[in-house]
Amino acid sequence: MGFDFKKYIPTNFKIPKNPDEDFKKVTVNKIRYKELLKQHQQNPEKVSKERLEQFRARWMENEEDRFRRWEQQFHQKDLEQKLLRDYSTFKDNPKEYLKKALDLGKRGQDMFSKWWGTKPPKPAGKGKMVQSNLTGRWQQEYKPHRSRRIRDWLKAAEHGDVFVGSLNPNRIPITRNEPTREERHQHHEATQKRALMKWRWLLKESKFLGSKDDRKRKLMWDDPISGFEGIMDENH
């Protein structure tokens, strides 16, 4: 038996009967379905069409699942708005707000949180706890245990002294791979292409330079990449 979400919805809570048109349908295990579809297109014998239909019929989201997901998101959005209103009222007059909540008894327990006025302990690390001004929630700032310069970090990476812990328990060195000959060639071509685009733009923007009698409007230039120096006209 699945989770009955309606049991936890307040009696005065109203949910629209139908989701919006922008509320798109989703498929469970969508990535897996795309992989099977790709395998079916490449090799129909390995992944048959019947297997695709069975997977789709089992894991596709129907209208009932879609409406249940809509209810959950709509309810979560309403709870967020209620939290914003309650905390804003609490900040204006905390004593009066708490007195009103206590007078309601059990119904007023959901109106406040003890962490609104109490700072929780740090879960881990050195970062300090910061409270949100909108919701009253606490969040720990990220603060690394230690910091290094990039050059020192690269030297330590060669000896396996970085990411020590769960990411690199065996202290495996992280080496820097030198670019291959093909990568160097691609970099050189891209650099030349950028330089050519720069000079074309420069010639286009400077076509009105020079005297009116000189129709060629030559421009002195030098290319720092190829080392060429000379004169280029606008038609070159």
Instruction: Identify the residue with better confidence: 188 or 178.
Output: 188
**What local confidence, expressed as pLDDT, does residue 190 receive?**
92
Q: What is the pLDDT of residues 6-33, one digit of tens each?
A: 554 444 545 555 555 555 555 556 667 7
Name 148's Cβ contacts closer than 8 Å, sequence gap at least 6.
156
Of the CA atoms within 13 Å of residue 176, those in its CB half-sphere come to 9
Q: Is the pLDDT at 204 greater than 50, yes or no?
A: yes
Q: What is the DSSP string of 160-200?
A: T-SSBTTTBTT----PPPPP-HHHHHHHHHHHHHHHHHHHH
Q: Where are the domains of the chain?
A: 5-26+61-117, 147-176, 181-232
pTM of the model: 0.43
Specify whether the CB–CB gap between 94 and 111 falls below 8 A: no
CA pair distance 199, 175, nearest whole angstrom: 38
Residue 236 pLDDT grade (very low, low, confident, very high; cuts 50, 70, 90): very low
Q: What is the pLDDT of residues 83-138, one digit of tens each?
A: 888 888 888 888 888 888 888 877 777 777 888 888 888 887 788 899 988 888 89
Please state the separation of Cα 136 from the chain's center in Å: 24
CA pair distance 51, 35, nearest whole angstrom: 13
